[in-house]
Amino acid sequence: MGQGVAEAERERELSKQALAARVSMLGDRVRGELDWRAKLRRDGLRYAVIGIAVVVIGTSVLVLRRRSRKEPAEVAVTSLEDISAQLTEIRAELAKRRKDSAPLWQKLALRAATAAATGAGGMAARKAMEELGGRGREAPRDQDTAAPSS
């Protein structure tokens, strides 16, 4: 019976050593995976190639997008109606862009400036008309008064 107990203890000790060796091996493997310096030394070239590829592809996409933008085609203008139609299209496109992309404060500032310019233009026109109207009235009066006396 003593011999069976000794053999069981020996097997137990061997399995304990094998288990400790496995745990040690797994611990080294986990430390190796978590060590970023070792990983960089091992896979650094791969990371560099991937990084360069991403930069090259990104730059290519940006360059191609800029080149593929539609450039305005040369338009042959034959009449004033064509010019008027083109200006109307341009105004509509600009109005659409202003409405879509401008922030609220910019829209309000633009409307206030437009209203102020309209008011100032109207006032300047009224003043000019009053000055011209006064001169225009004086001239006919002189002619009217001059005509009967001659």
Q: What mean pLDDT do residues 39-55 have? A: 90
* Average predicted confidence (pLDDT) for the chain: 80
Q: Residue 125: its pLDDT value, please?
A: 83
pLDDT(104) > 50: yes
Beta strands in the chain (DSSP E): none
Domain spans, the chain? 2-67, 80-149
Tell me which of 47 and 149 has the higher pLDDT: 47
Which of the four pLDDT bands, split at 50, 70 and 90, describes residue 150? very low
Nearest 5 degrees, angle CA 80-CA 83-CA 86? 150
Tell me which of 101 and 91 has the higher pLDDT: 91
pLDDT cut 70: percent of the chain above it: 79
**Whole-number Å distance between alpha carbons of 134 and 115:** 28
Q: Looking at the whole model, is its pTM more than 0.85? A: no
For 22, 53, 113, the CA distances from 143, given in Å and listed in that order, are 123, 89, 44
pLDDT(138) > 60: no
Q: Which residues contact 43 (CB under 8 A, 6 or more apart)?
A: none
Q: Residue 141: its pLDDT value, please?
A: 46
3-state class of 91 per DSSP? helix
